[in-house]
Amino acid sequence: MILDIHKFQKSQKIKFKNNSLLIEALTHKSANKKFNNEKLEFLGDRVIGLILSKKLIDLYPVENEGVLDKRFAILVNRETCCDIAWSIDLQNYIIIGNKKKKITRKDKKILSDCCEAVIGAIYIDRGYDFVKNFILKIWKKKIDNSDITILDSKTKLQEHSLKSYKKLPLYRLLSSSGPRHKPTYKISVSIIGSKQFIGIGGSKQHAEQNAAAKLLKGKNIN
């Protein structure tokens, strides 16, 4: 494991002062109930949020908070963090309880949580400036693509429903799960004559946006 850790550090041009922090960040709770990456993931989530929200403000100084929030949500969601984890080969270093299991792209929660934990570990070990540069480097492609036009699916669906049926879309909270600092919401939406479409997100607003986007796509509403 020591050789693997040094290999990862070399590939990412990181030299940890305290290697145990990196081991902790790579250790899933299934491998160790007491020594695992949950607290570092909690920290890393906030470090990523701070760095990327400041970057968005610098990139789009005249945009309103609502649009910035949508750009931010895309940059920090589970899918994106999973992509980032895969891009730096974290799947080859994660320590899980089942030693025979191979981490795949389908293990999105394990990958995204580990990505955040590694960021948290780097912040503690190397400080703000180093982790800022590291985040902006590995998120560069995602940030560069953040200038795409963001459509507000909820607003678009509402306008369509009111125009066609004179009624608002019906949203229902189906479930909420996960820790308090990082909840996951599942919300359904329907309009007159449609089935329910389900969206998942880290906030009720994002889950509603995702559900609305699925309905628009499913009903081919342009």
State yes or no: is 41 an active-site residue.
no
Which among 24, 41, 45, 83 is annotated as catalytic? 45
Closest CA relative to residue 121, chosen from 35, 210, 213: 35
What order of strands is seen across the sheet that includes strand 184-190? 170-177, 184-190, 197-201
CA angle, residues 149, 150, 154, in degrees to nearest 5: 145
What is the dihedral angle through the alpha carbons of 161, 165, 166, 171, rounded to the nearest 10 degrees? -50
Neighbours of 142 (CB within 10 A): 17
Question: Which position among 83, 107, 116, 125 bears the catalytic label?
Answer: 116
What distance in Å separates the CA atoms of residue 114 and residue 87, rounded to the nearest whole number?
Answer: 13
Instruction: Tell me, yes or no, if 45 is annotated catalytic.
Output: yes
Three-class DSSP category at 201: strand
At position 86, the amino acid (one-letter code) is: W
Give catalytic residues, as residue numbers.
45, 116
